[in-house]
Structure formats: C-alpha cells, structure tokens
Structure 1
Amino acid sequence: MTSVPPPSVAQPPGDADRIDQPLGAVRAEVRATPAYPFTPIHAPFKLDQNESALDFPLTLRKLALERMMERDWNRYPDLHAETLQARIGEYENWSPAGVVVTPGSNVLIKLLTEMGGIGQRLLTVQPTFSVYELEAQMLGANVTRVPLRPDFGLDVEGLKRELAEGGPGVLSLIQPHAPTGFLDTESDLRAVVDAAGDDWIVVIDEAYHQYSGSNCRALVLERPNRVSLRTFSKAWGLAGLRLGYALAGTDLAANLQKLVSAFNVNALTQAVAEVALEHPGYVRARAEAVVWERERVLRELSGLKRLHAYPSRANFFLLLTPDAEYAHRFLLERGLLVRRQDKLPMLGGCLRVSIGTKEQNDLLIGAVLELDAE
C-alpha cells in the first residue's frame, strides 16, 4: 500500500518545476529576440492588419469548396506545390522553375534569411516590417539598419555606403514600404539595387504592389541574385489562406526551394488558390476601389490641425497624433481598431490605419476629425 505524504513534506522536482528552469540548449539569439509584436484585440471595425476589407467573392468560395470536395483529403499534396508554381507562373508570365510557393511570404522572409543571412549580413532600413529583423536576430545574422529619409524614402547614399562595406548577405527592401506606405522612385530603387552587385541576395518585397501600381519584375529579371516576394494576403483577400510566393531566377529559386519543407502547401489551400488565379479580375477591381477610397480618406483628412495623415501608396496610411496611446484608445472606444506604430524609429505618435469599406472609412473620418478637434 502506497502512503501519500502530507502537504508539508517536500516533494521531488516534478515536470512543472523543470519547465520553469532556464533552457540552456535554446540558442542565445532566440532567447534574446522578442516575440512578434502583436496582441489580438476584438473590435467591430478591424483596420489594424492591412487585410482586404472584403472577403473572397462568394461565387468563387463556392467554386473552391466544390473543388476541395473533389480532392482526396487522405493523400499528400504536391511535394513542392508544383501545380501552383505552374499556375502562378502563367499568371505572372514567369518561368515556373523560378516560382517558390510557401504558406505566407513571411515564411519566405525566414528562408531567405536562412539562405543568405546566417553568419553573414542582413542590410535593411528602419522603420520597416519587423519580421525581417526578428528573423535575422534569431538566426544570428549581422543586422545593419539604415534610417529612411525624413520623407520615408530610401537613403540611397547611406545604403550604398553600407553595400560598399561588402557582403555577402541579404538586402531587403519593401516597395511600397511598410509601415509608411511610401513608394520610392524607380531611379532611387535602381541605384540601391545596382550597388548591391553580385555579393547580396536582393529581396524586393512587393506585398502591396497592386495598390501602388508598381512592378519590380524587370528589375528582378536583370540579375540572378534578385527576388520579388508577393502574397495572396492583401489584394487577393485571402489572408486566412496563408499563401505567398517568390519570383526569382531559376538558380536562386532552386536553392531557396531546398529550404522549403516538403508538402508545405496543403491541398485545400491549393484548391482555393487555383480558383483565385483562374478569376483574377476581382483583384484588379478591388485594388482600384481601395486606391479610390484611400485617396478620398486622405483628402478628407488633409485639413487636420493637431494630427497629420501621411500620403500612402499602399492600402493603409500613417496617422501622426500628439499621443498615440490616447488616440488608439479614443478610436477603439468608437469601435475602430488601428495599429500603434509609435515604438518604431521615426514614428513617434503614429498609428497605422488600414483602408476599410466606405462605411468603415466614413466612421474613421468622423472619429479622426473629432479627435483632432479636442
């Protein structure tokens, strides 16, 4: 018969005690890197993550569901999403051998850092999309950040100086920029990219290109060490699908593909993406509508006295306020959830606001004008 000791008797360490002890086997770079800075908040009007305000069209959802029902769910999907590589290649007029598909372009950011950043350099700008720096820090890359100009454009000379210091490594640029929405001139972008020569993997993140009318395909095609990142999460209205892709030369794509896990795009995601690629007209129409709404919102907010709405070429804009914490709470109390950016370099007092539906944007305009008048 086993006796149970009284509560006052000390017990040997159990699992609960052990899991609270320091994890010496976890690399110091991982332990020192903060988690992705996002805390979900529920609100009636969600304008905080640069998603499409409109869902995947209902008619296409029905087609996708029908296609999903026809698939064998008990079988593995394509090894490397070959079907989608071919469909994306056809849509982009790009060789399928130069297309790499993953569950979200953030996965590609991680893999490109693994391919060219570990033990080497990551050169980027600040402020920028935080995932670039977080992945580089966790993987032990040597991160160099060049501040943007006061107007949020590339500091061409500053970047050229850093590039001249030498690689190898990864140069990451976003067009248009996130979180500022600024689109560089073609001459500025080319000056930086050309200065990278052959020692760097040049990453041009084009997640928001449908809203800016820009396209860096020609620039990528000029050199085998350049790559464009694109996503289904924004203009395609499929953020919940988690699908992104890279356009690159065949040699770079082949090496990048080595880092992609096998069967990484599931059959259900593939079915939805196939339907979307067969009906791309809705993307163009919605992007045009977002641009029209973006310009309307910025026009309505052009006369602000205490606040300032920055121009943008993306599906979001920055709102400069005297107190970002107060402004965030003020808008949230009116059902409008936006994203604080005031902890980032150069963005003190700033909120990032996604463009929503016309009704949501009308509520936003009214709330911002009310805040400005306080």
Structure 2
Amino acid sequence: MLKYRAGLKNLPTYDVGEADWKIKLNANEFNMNLPAVVEDRVMGRLSRLAFNRYPGIEVESLKEQLAAAYNVQMDNILIANGSSEILEKVFFCLGGRNRKIVYPQPSFSMYKIYADLSGSISVPFDLNDDYTLDAEKFVDTVNINKAHLAVICAPNNPTGTAVPLRDIEYIAQNINCAFIVDEAYVEFADESAMQILSKYPHMIVARTFSKAYGLAAARVGYAIADSKVTTMLGKVFMPYHVNSLSAAVADIVYQMRHEYESRISMIKAERQRVNDELVKIAGVKVYPSKTNFILIKYDRAQQLNEYLYNIGIGVRSFGNAPRLDNCIRITIGLREENDAWIKAVRDFIVNN
C-alpha cells in the first residue's frame, strides 16, 4: 500500500484543463503570438541550437542581458521555469517546519499551496474590502508572527490592484525577514520594486516572460536579489532545470523587447476602455486594475459565467472562493474580443 506524505491528499489540484474557446480570456495570457520580426529571429536561433548539449550558453546569455538591463551583476540573477518556480523555491528555502510565511489574500492561489508543500505555517493576511494592501498592518502581522518570509504580489492577482512603491518600501524597511515581491504583471503597471531593490538585501523581485512578453508556453521567469540570496536559492534548483529552447527564445525576446512596447500600450489602453464600458452596466462592480486583466463583481456571477461558457467565451469565475465570492476575472484581449465579451455581459444582464 502506498503511503503518501501527510497532508498531500488535502492539497487542491491546480486546474489547467481547457475547452475549445472562441475567445479565451481565463488565464491572463497575451492574446497575440510573437511579433513576426521576433518570430523570424527565434526560428533562426533555434535552427542553430545544439539539441545534443545540456543547457548552458542560452541561460548565461539571458542572465547577461538581464543583468545589464537592471545594472546588476550576473550572480544577482536566477533564471527559472516561470516566476512560479522562483516562488516555489523561495518557499522551500525560507519556509519549513514551524516557520511562518505571511502572504495576502485574496492573491495568487499557489502561495498557500507552496506553503503547505514546504511544510510551513501559512499566515494569510486579509486585503482591505477594496483589495488594497494596508502596509502597516501587513508589517505588524509579519513581525508579530516572527515570520521567516513575507510575500506580496504587485500588482495583485486576481484583483488587479496596485501596491504603491512607497508601501513596498515601508514593508522592506520595517521587517527583518526575507521579502519577495511577485511582479508577474509589473510591465502593465507604473512602478516596480526594482527601483529600491539595491537598498534592501533581504528583498527578492520575481518576474516572468509569460505575461507581457507572451511566452507562457516557454515557461521562463527570473529572480533578482542580493548575490548571497541567489546563491542559497540556487542550491535547491535541479541541474539544467531551464531548457535551452525556452532560454534561447526568452533571450531573443528580451533583446527585442522594444517590439512589445506598442502591444503593452495597447493592452493598457484597452484596459481603460473596458473599464469605462463596464462601469456603465448596472449591477457590475469594477475594480481598478494595473494588470492585463480586470476583476468584476456581480451578484449572479455564476450564471453569467455559465452563459459565457455556453457561447464559447472563457473567463475565470471564482464561485464562492474566500473574499472573491461572485467575482469574475477577465483577461484584456484584442479590441474585437473585448467588444464581444462586453456585449455578451451586457446582453445577459439586460435579459436576466
């Protein structure tokens, strides 16, 4: 009889199943593939890849680029399989038996799962009713619990709300434990913790290529931190954990990141336009967003989600999830996609 480790049975499964959507807006993906000029460079690079060799050159090249862009040393950078792997390893390194990890709720659902997997004690911190973060209370919670790790998502997923840089710095100044800022959506925001990182050696910034750069399929992310921190984190990664194909693609994409500037601007403009349209619909509460998605609250959210599902529009409904009851998260897509789902929401509400 197989005897699994205690608590494993109770862990939720991260659902990645998909339907054949006409419009897919449920995973915060970028709804455009690589720019043509980037794709040409990527295919050329992959055609010269030494598939018979373990990863090395491609990962180092990407680290070199990132280090130059952020004016840090290469040993301040860790490359991983998405920022999710960075988060997982941070939880494993700094969490553990009788160690407490403080994170906001509602926020990225994997924080609790990583805490549980690492055998840590979860200390969820409730966001305000408008989903903003009270930095003073967060600091008090971290310090009272003598936490070993504090985590925030800035901007926050799934609420889309920003965490002002002044609040991030206040937290960094007033806690003594490790502090990781999950910046998966930062390219769609106005501020970044990178502006203050060099002042706080206990702080880690995690980023990803999956969102603004549309590389969700490649799974590439990175952490930036003091070299003493990256050295310790690096000990828990498997050898060659980032494959050469993904690293090579990310390397090209970052070289050509200027090609994405207009796309990111387009998403921001569409986000504002979508917000302006939604606030006109009676019964729909819209939360301010600094991400590539928008969160709405509607008292018949489950029925609305079913309606959208039946017409082939995939969104992320939270059902009765704590602090997210009757909430739906919708990725900002292309203009015609946004027009279609806004019309669908309006039609459902008018007719029901």
TM-score (ref. length: structure 1): 0.90
Selected match of 2:102 from 123, 147, 150: 123
Query: Does the 8 Å contact 2:295/2:330 carry over to 1?
Result: yes
- Count of residues in Structure 1 that have an aligned counterpart in Structure 2: 350
Q: Which residue of the other structure, out of 66, 78, 83, is the alignment partner of 1:100?
A: 78
Correspondences of 1:140-179 after superposition (within 5 Å): 140-179=119-158
State whether residues 324 and 342 of structure 1, in contact with CA within 8 Å, keep that contact through their aligned partners in structure 2: yes
- The alpha carbon displacement at 1:284 in A equals 1.9
**SS at structure 1 position matched to 2:279:** coil
Between the aligned partners of 1:180 and 1:312, the Cα distance in structure 2 is: 7
1:258 aligns with 2:235: yes
Q: Paired residue for 1:54?
A: 32
Aligned partner of 1:338 in structure 2 is: 315
- CA contact 1:342–1:348 (8 Å) conserved in 2: yes
Deviations 1:165-213 (A, max 9, x none): 243511110110010000022333322232212xx11000111111112
1:217 paired with 2:194, answer yes
Structure 2 SS opposite 1:87: helix
Q: 1:7 aligns to what?
A: none
Tell me the residue number matched to 1:110: 88
1:183 is matched with which residue? 162
- What's the secondary structure of 2:217's corresponding residue? helix
Residue 37 (structure 1) shift: 4.0
Cα distance, 1:30 vs. partner? 2.1
Partner of 1:202, secondary structure, is: strand
SS of the equivalent of 2:78 reads: strand
Name the aligned partner's letter for residue 316 of structure 2: R
User: 1:81 and 2:59 equivalent?
Assistant: yes
Contact 1:174–1:204 (8 Å) recurs in 2: yes
CA contact (8 A) 2:58 2:244 kept: no
**Quick one: which amino acid aligns to residue 110 of structure 1?**
E
* Structure 2 contact 102–147 (Cα < 8 Å) conserved: no
- Could you say if the C-alpha distance between residues 80 and 140 of structure 1 is closer, same or farther in structure 2, counting changes exceeding 3 Å? farther
From the CA coordinates, give the structure whose radius of gyration is larger.
1
Residue 37 of structure 2 is aligned to residue 30 of structure 1: no
1:230 corresponds in structure 2 to 207
For residues 325 and 145 of structure 2, the distance between their equivalents in structure 1, rounded to whole angstroms, comes to: 32
The residue that corresponds to 2:342 in the other structure is: 365
* 1:194 aligned residue: 173
Counterpart of 2:247 in structure 1 is 270
Q: Root-mean-square deviation (CA), in Å?
A: 1.6
Q: 1:63 aligns with which of 27, 36, 41?
A: 41
| Between 297-306 and 187-196, the greater mean CA deviation after superposition | 187-196
Shift of 1:130: 0.7
Counterpart of 1:15 in structure 2 is none
1:33 deviates by 1.4
1:36, CA displacement in angstroms? 1.5
Deviation at 1:38, TM superposition (A): 4.2
- Per-residue deviation at 1:124? 0.5
Distance 1:142 1:79, change over 3 A: farther
Are the counterparts in 2 of residues 324 and 350 from structure 1 also a CA contact under 8 Å? Answer: yes
The answer on 1:244 being equivalent to 2:234 is no
Gaps of 5+ in 1: 1-20
| Deviation for aligned residue 1:160 | 2.2
Moved over 6 A (4+): none
Please report how far the alpha carbon of residue 65 of structure 1 lies from its aligned counterpart in structure 2 after TM superposition: 1.3
TM superposition shift of 1:90: 1.9
Cα shift at 1:80: 9.5
Q: Which runs of 5+ in 2 are unaligned?
A: none
Alpha-carbon distance, 1:265 to partner: 1.5
Q: Distance in 1 between matches of 2:311 and 2:288?
A: 24
SS of residue matched to 1:241: coil
Separation in 1, partners of 2:58, 2:12: 31
Give the C-alpha shift of residue 71 in structure 1: 1.8
CA distance in 1 between partners of 2:174 and 2:232 (Å)? 23
What is the one-letter code of the residue matched to 2:60?
E
